[in-house]
Structure 1
Amino acid sequence: MVKLLIFLGNPGKLYEKSRHNVGWLLCDKLYPSVQWAEKFHSLHAKVGTVRLLKPQTYMNESGKAVRACTDFFNFKAEEILVVHDDLELPFGTVRFQKGGGLQGHNGLKSIKSHLGEDGFYRLRFGIGRPAKGSVASYVLLPFSKEEAPLLPILFDKAEHLLSVDVSALPATDTLV
Structure 2
Amino acid sequence: MKATRLRWFLGRLVSPVRGAGATAPAPRTRNEREEDPVVDDAGAWLVVGLGNPGPGYAGHRHNVGYLVTDELARRLGSRWRSHKSGRADVVEGRLGAPGSPGPRIVLARPRSYMNELGGPVKALAGFYKTDLDHVVAIHDELDIDFGTLRVKRGGGDNGHNGLRSMRSSLGGGDFYRVRAGIGRPPGRQDVADFVLSDYAKRERDELALQVDTAADAVECLLTDGLERTQQRFNS
Instruction: Return the TM-score normalized by structure 1.
Output: 0.91
Distance 2:107 2:201 in 1: 29
Higher mean Cα deviation, 147-156 or 8-17? 147-156
| Residue in 2 that maps onto 1:104 | 159
Q: Which digits, 9 at most, give the CA deviation of each residue in 1:6-46, with x for residues without a partner?
A: 01111112101110110111122232352222224100120
Aligned with 1:163: secondary structure? helix
* Greater RCO, 1 or 2 (C-alpha within 8 Å, sep 6+): 1
User: Which letter maps to 1:168?
Assistant: G
Instruction: Return the TM-score normalized by structure 2.
Output: 0.69
Higher mean Cα deviation, 153-162 or 76-85? 153-162
Distance 2:122 2:69 in 1: 20
> Aligned residue pairs: how many?
176
Q: How does 1:71-150 map to 2 (within 5 A)?
A: 71-131=126-186, 132-150=188-206
Deviation, 1:106, is 0.3
- Please say if residues 96 and 124 of structure 1, whose CA atoms lie closer than 8 Å, have aligned partners that are also in contact: yes
Aligned with 2:212: secondary structure? helix
List alignment gaps of at least 5 residues for structure 2. 1-42, 95-103
| Residue in 1 that maps onto 2:215 | 159
Higher mean Cα deviation, 3-12 or 25-34? 25-34
User: Which letter maps to 2:234?
Assistant: L
- Please say if residues 44 and 106 of structure 2, whose CA atoms lie closer than 8 Å, have aligned partners that are also in contact: no
Percentage identity across paired residues of the two chains: 37
| Residue in 2 that maps onto 1:19 | 61
Aligned with 2:201: secondary structure? coil
Q: 1:172 and 1:30, CA in 2 relative to 1: closer, same or farther beyond 3 A? A: closer
| Residue in 2 that maps onto 1:34 | 78
Deviation, 1:171, is 9.7
Deviation, 1:130, is 0.8
Q: 1:171 and 1:66, CA in 2 relative to 1: closer, same or farther beyond 3 A? A: farther
Q: Which has the higher helix share?
A: 2
List alignment gaps of at least 5 residues for structure 1. none
Larger Rg over CA atoms: 2
Aligned with 1:143: secondary structure? coil
- Please say if residues 97 and 171 of structure 1, whose CA atoms lie closer than 8 Å, have aligned partners that are also in contact: no
Distance 2:44 2:152 in 1: 13
Q: 1:165 and 1:136, CA in 2 relative to 1: closer, same or farther beyond 3 A? A: closer
1:169 maps onto 2:215 in alignment: no
Q: 1:2 and 1:124, CA in 2 relative to 1: closer, same or farther beyond 3 A? A: farther
User: Which letter maps to 1:72?
Assistant: F
- Please say if residues 68 and 211 of structure 2, whose CA atoms lie closer than 8 Å, have aligned partners that are also in contact: yes
Aligned with 1:164: secondary structure? helix
Deviation, 1:90, is 1.2
Deviation, 1:51, is 0.7
